[in-house]
């Protein structure tokens, strides 16, 4: 793990449990992140490196208000590679309380 941005640092600080600093090939590290800023916004960002390869991962939730006051949840995910890495991000599930699960993969 490499904390570069303030969003990555704050994600690590509030994650429960803390994500592993290193992850062995084929394994994973679960974490739960809940920001207290607003129930309508949440995000998690984390970055991992393998040698010279880096993946910056992110996932967000935002409750959008459409015309007419209709609320619509929106989840996003990002996986930004550098150094020849292959990075993927997938939202694997969403729930009625707007919580969600994301899976990040690095090769």
**In degrees rounded to 5, what are phi and psi of residue 14?**
-100, -5
Residue 1 lies in a domain: no
Residue 67 lies in a domain: yes
Q: What total of structural domains would you count in the chain? A: 1
pLDDT in tens, 17-70: 999 999 888 889 999 999 888 889 999 999 999 999 999 999 999 999 999 999
Full residue range of the structural domain in which residue 48 is found: 6-21+36-106
Residue 53 lies in a domain: yes
Residue 42 lies in a domain: yes
Residue 28 lies in a domain: no
Q: Note if the pTM is more than 0.85.
A: yes
Two tokens, residue 66: 């459409």
Residue 58 lies in a domain: yes
Residue 26 lies in a domain: no
């Amino acid at each position: 793990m490499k904390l570069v941005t303030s969003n990555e640092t704050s994600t690590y600080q509030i994650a429960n449990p803390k994500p592993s600093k290193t992850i062995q090939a084929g394994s994973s590290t679960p974490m739960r992140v809940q920001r207290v800023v607003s129930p309508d916004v949440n995000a998690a960002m984390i970055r991992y490196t393998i040698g010279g390869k880096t993946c910056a991962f992110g996932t967000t939730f935002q409750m959008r208000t459409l015309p007419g006051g209709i609320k619509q949840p929106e989840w996003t995910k990002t996986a930004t590679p550098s150094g020849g890495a292959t990075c993927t991000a997938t939202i694997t599930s969403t729930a009625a309380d707007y919580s969600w699960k994301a899976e990040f993969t690095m090769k």
